[in-house]
Structure 1
Amino acid sequence: MPKTLMISVDERGAARLTLAREDKHNAMSAEMIDELTEAASVLASDRNVRVIVLAGAGKSFCAGGDLEWMRAQLKASRSERIAEARRLAMMFKALNQVPKPLIGCVHGSAFGGGIGLISVCDTAIASEAARFGLTEVRLGLIPATISPYVVARIGSSAARSLFVSGRIFDAAHAKSIGLVASVVASADVDRAVEKEIDEFIAASPQAAASAKALARSLALPITDEIIDNVITRLADSWETEEAQAGIADFFEKRRSKS
């Protein structure tokens, strides 16, 4: 049984994959990364599953990388950082290639890797109160591992602005750039997700899987070479003085507030 996820499948074949580290705003730890990769494989091969809803428990969808995971990267060797970046990259790849419709259900905060999770969904519904950000540059890092999926989702122009500024943006802007498909009142999120489930379940499972693969094949390919490149770029960014200083300062500020 996974420790960081909740997984259920109803009689229609609608699976709910819920991030369950609510005390950490569902920030992704090494354990969660491994469990999401495994869950993607299990749900992909389960013939009873017709559609998957990806959501977060508690106040947030996903706040990005877990602080302890980040602290470990600060002290790690280059080879260890590359190994961790590859673990994360393989998780996104696995979710992106799930041959079932994947619906993002977004509320609260969706930062960094949380935006990566939204970007591998086939569609996403956001609460009007949700907030988003690719804030890596504020720590001296870059949003490398998620970048192929984010660029594929929102395009280079929108990605360049958000990658470089690290600004926080609202759900209306997320919709305007195509990150989410619709924005609804917080009380209406579940109803909107149910409507999407009904639409996807109406499709033939085999045809839906083939159509999803077709759409991916016609987009900018996310090859192993691209994945290797972004992993290397992330490792490079961890080694800069800016990143070392920015992350150390971040943890120092957190200590002073605690």
Structure 2
Amino acid sequence: MYTNIITEVDIGVGIITLNRPERHNAFDDGLIAELSAAIDQMSKDPAVRVLVLSSTGKSFCAGADLNWMKRAAGYTHPENLRDAHALAEMLRRLAHCPKPTVARVQGPAFGGGVGLVACCDVAIGTIDAEFSLTEVKLGLIPAVISPHVIAAIGERYARRYMLTAERFSAAEAYRIGLLHELVTDTESLDEAVGEIVDALLNNAPGAMAECKALIAAVAWKPITPVVIEDTAQRITRLRASEEGREGMTAFLEKRKPNWIAQG
């Protein structure tokens, strides 16, 4: 079905794997289109409760593919705008996926690759991974990834790393909030991702989707009466929902709720 990515669904977990190792999983219009379609498909698939974004090869994602950049140099304004919209839409779908998303970062992430990591709810990487927002070195700016990167690392660190385009380590990515956890190697990476996935699968699917919507609604907002009323309405609705009733009943009856596999 796809030529640039591999997709699979296994026991509630959807995995999208960037599969252009010979190009360090760099973006081109084909990869962006396939990622966008796969994210949309898994977002709508009731069999998928958690989405993991992974890569093959030595790099997680090296940003824009050089051949694509060469082609884009001759594009018209409408053609360049089309490409920018396509990338922005793919990142939007990932950032606003109703399922929890986990980035499995096994190697360097540059440019748009940093954007992919920033879009995911949880990001775990190996200690030898490197990161860089390289756009200004090419006379460009990290435009469409900027809302997601700034949300992940904050304006202050964005000022440094977007302006200097310097490489920074996985340890620094962890320090500034781009990565949530560091591991020593890919075996440990798979174990750490598995632990996060298991934790997510214990939670109510609808409640996690609602929680993501809640975070988006209140983040960076002043605590006004409007925000307070919105949060009160949200919890009132969830308490009366089928999942809310099942969760509370299961807790009181000291049993597992019905969204956890019994056994």
If the length of structure 2 is used for normalisation, what is the TM-score? 0.82
**Alignment of structure 1 residues 191-230 onto 2, 5 Å:** 191-220=191-220
Deviation at 1:24, TM superposition (A): 0.3
Letter in 1 for 2:109: A
Q: After superposition, where does 1:12-31 map in structure 2 within 5 Å? A: 12-31=11-30
The 8 Å contact of residues 13 and 48 in structure 2, kept in 1 or not, is answered as yes
Determine the structure 2 residue equivalent to 1:5: 5
Specify the alignment match of 2:109 in structure 1: 110
Q: In the alignment, what sits opposite 2:189?
A: 189
Contact 1:152 1:220 in 2 (8 A): no
> AA paired with 1:156?
E
Q: State yes or no: 1:52 paired with 2:57.
A: no
> Contact (CA 8 Å) 2:102, 2:120: kept in 1 or not?
yes
Structure 1 counterpart of 2:156 = 157
How many pairs were matched up? Answer: 220
Which amino acid in 2 is paired with 1:147? S
Question: Percent same amino acid among aligned pairs?
Answer: 42
Q: Report the alpha carbon displacement of residue 126 of structure 1 after superposing the two structures with TM.
A: 0.5
Question: 1:84-142 deviations in whole A, cap 9, x for unaligned?
Answer: 11111111011111100100000221000000000110010000010100011111111
Determine the structure 2 residue equivalent to 1:169.
168
For 2:150 and 2:13, how far apart are their aligned partners in 1? Answer: 28
The Cα offsets for residues 138-193 of structure 1, whole Å up to 9 and x where unpaired, read as: 11111111001000111000101000000000000000010010111013100000
Cα deviations across residues 53-98 of structure 1 (Å, max 9, x unaligned)? Answer: 1011111100001111111121111121111111111110111111
Residue in 2 that maps onto 1:37: 36
Alpha carbons 1:33, 1:91 under 8 Å: kept: yes
Q: TM-score, normalised by structure 1?
A: 0.84
* 1:135 equivalenced with 2:134 (yes/no): yes
Give yes or no for contact 2:105–2:123 (8 Å, CA) kept in 1.
Answer: yes
Is the Cα contact below 8 Å between 1:133 and 1:169 reproduced in 2? yes
Q: Structure 2: state its 5+ residue gaps.
A: 222-263
Q: State the 1:40 CA deviation.
A: 1.1
Q: 1:195 is aligned with what amino acid?
A: E
For the aligned residues, what is the CA RMSD?
Answer: 1.0
2: CA distance, partners of 1:144 / 1:59:
26
**CA–CA distance in structure 1, aligned partners of residues 220 and 60 of structure 2:** 27
The residue that corresponds to 1:63 in the other structure is 62
Q: State the distance in 2 between where 1:29 and 1:110 align.
A: 15
Structure 1: gaps of 5 or more residues:
222-258
SS of match in other structure, 1:75: coil
Q: CA deviation at 1:219?
A: 2.3
Secondary structure (helix, strand or coil) at the match of 2:84 reads: helix
Q: Match for residue 241 of structure 1?
A: none
Q: Is the 8 A contact 2:62 2:110 kept in 1?
A: yes
Cα distance in 1 for residues equivalent to 2:113 and 2:210: 27
Deviations 1:6-51 (A, max 9, x none): 01111x2111110001110000110110011111110011001010
Cα distance in 1 for partners of 2:82, 2:97 equals 23
> Displacement, 1:220?
4.8
CA displacement 1:182-236 (0-9 Å, x = unmatched): 1110131000000000111111000000001111122259xxxxxxxxxxxxxxx
Task: Name the amino acid aligned to 1:215.
Answer: I
For 1:219 and 1:46, how far apart are their aligned partners in 2? 27
Bigger radius of gyration among the two? 2
